[in-house]
Structure 1
Amino acid sequence: MKIAPLAAAVILGLTGTAALAQAVNTDWYIAPTVSYSINDDSRVKNHGWGTGLVLGKVLDDRWNVEAGGQYMQFDGKNDEQGSLSVDALYFFNRNPDFAPYATFGLGFVREGYSDTNHNDNLLAKAGLGFTRQLSENVDFRADARYQTHANKAGPKRLGDWVMSVGVNYHFGGKTQAPAPYVAAPALVPVPEIVVAAPPPPPPPAPAPRFEKSTLSATELFAFDSAELRMPQPKLDEIANALGSSSEINDVVITGYTDRIGSAKYNQKLSERRALSVKNYLTSKGIDANRLKAQGKGEANPVVVCTDKKRPALIKCLEPNRRVEVENITIERRVQ
């Protein structure tokens, strides 16, 4: 049975994607599946069908653990199999459109179901797969796994390729977005008699003041990346201002993300992005002791969006993905 082309295609498909962030539900999920098998050469038929049910838990941004059962018919009632197993899934990324993973697990398998014609053995399996987000709580899943176990009747060991598709239904939802700010009604002005006053003296020239610079994360970074795009003229301008004013200290660089993704992942991403901006400024000769980098994840959103479709939601939330640089003294000239 030639399976090398199939395995190579799966591996190329899994490694050919960029690492993007997915909205990860860090909770429990259930996954019904249907399977097609390419059977061991020792079996009567060269293919079979099956069904399965999995209970899973998202542990963090990289790992899932699953426990479940599977029933396979390789040759009708003449060759059937039931198994229970525990599997670990390692995700290379959490891209909502294509999140590849590697999986491996151990379990118990029974070949045949009659009282006199069955054998029980330990089962080992490993494979590759991917998920694709269909909605906030539902993912499509597909994988190919090679499973093998000892055999007490006939050949000493059986090995089958099992391709499965199904859906993951997550039992929890994401944290609700903060309620939009509603401004208090404006006061109605009361007419009053105004006595003409002598013209005021001309205002003094504006003194230097502290100012906050807000930089769009879309201009600074690729989606889900903390690596700066090049060139960065706005960061160069900030570096020049700091370089010409050595008395400016305690400059705070704060990274923010949108609400797509887990809070833990977004916090880390915002910290990495703030640190990238700090490293860029230090590479331009700014003393690192004058700079402080911090991340605030999903906090302090600029906009609130309710779009259902993911591309529109990502576009709408773009202002929330930003880096703010505060406490820069800039002199504004009167035009």
Structure 2
Amino acid sequence: MLKKTTLTIASLIGVSCLPQVQAAEQSLDNRWYVAPFASYVQTGGDRNADNGWGGGLGIGKIIDQHFNVELKGFYEGFGGKNGSWSLAGGTADLQYYFMREKFSPYAVVAAGGMNSCVGGNCGAGVIGEAGLGFTYELDDNFLLRSDVRYRYNNNLNNHVQTGTDQFNDMTVNVGFVIPFGEKPKQVSRAEVRVQPAPAPVLATPAPAVDPCHGRHYKSSHVDANGCPVKIVLKGEHFKYDSAELQPPAKAILDSLAKDLIADPQKTEVEAKGYASSEGGASYNLRLSERRAKSVVEYLKAKGVTNKLIAKGFGIADPIGDNSTEAGRVENRRVELIWIEQ
């Protein structure tokens, strides 16, 4: 048996949700449509009747993003203890769509009239309906539709059935909607946006001053500011007792040559050759000078245009202990010194 109170509460809850839903887009769709449907009727206990079937047709119009209006006619029939029932009527529907998407749920309220006949007695009355439903768009011009409605029927003292002229039923409707014409495109709802105040223009900070003036050479010794002061080529960078450069020295000088070529300031570079205490002083002076010149000539051959100076200092300014082989290796060297302008 249908519970009138339960159905009424469910319908009111559905309708109460209407103002809480807002659409993100505004539809320009205002087409007319037809909507045939089939119905299943679950009768209330006050009819003393079985459940039944029916069908009908609606003709409606899309008003805006949320609302449809529709005129609907229907016929329903079912058996009962007092004989066969036939219900024929029509309603004016107002449908509220929570959103217009492929799947679109809606709430509906309706009012109208209905002629009821049972066991040879007929009488006209009024009906009111409320319910929830949805449409599912298969195509721009074809949508499936279904809803569930509570229906209140008052036969206005026509005494179609002895005992009461008020009836409470539930209908489940399934059908489809066929809009006429091409579906308009949707456009975004115009929104008024408050433009933020322009951000204050801040002075661009002056770029940090590079104390090295762009000079950052690999393999170089640096000062407290991280700027290169010298590159040291030690004894293993030359053939023994020779000014011929070994591959490790050439690799260092190749990298240095690229940096010097890219240096727009063309800083002056001095190559200072040194030797260990082995051998005669005059021989070591000449060897250190030849090694310094070998470095300068190699850089020039690589395209370096900086001013390059080669000097030999022999056994002067030792940096290691000449009494040990490790110290003597440290002293056999060529130092490339950057001379500030």
Which has the higher relative contact order, 1 or 2, with Cα contacts under 8 A spaced 6 or more apart? 1
TM-score (norm 2): 0.48
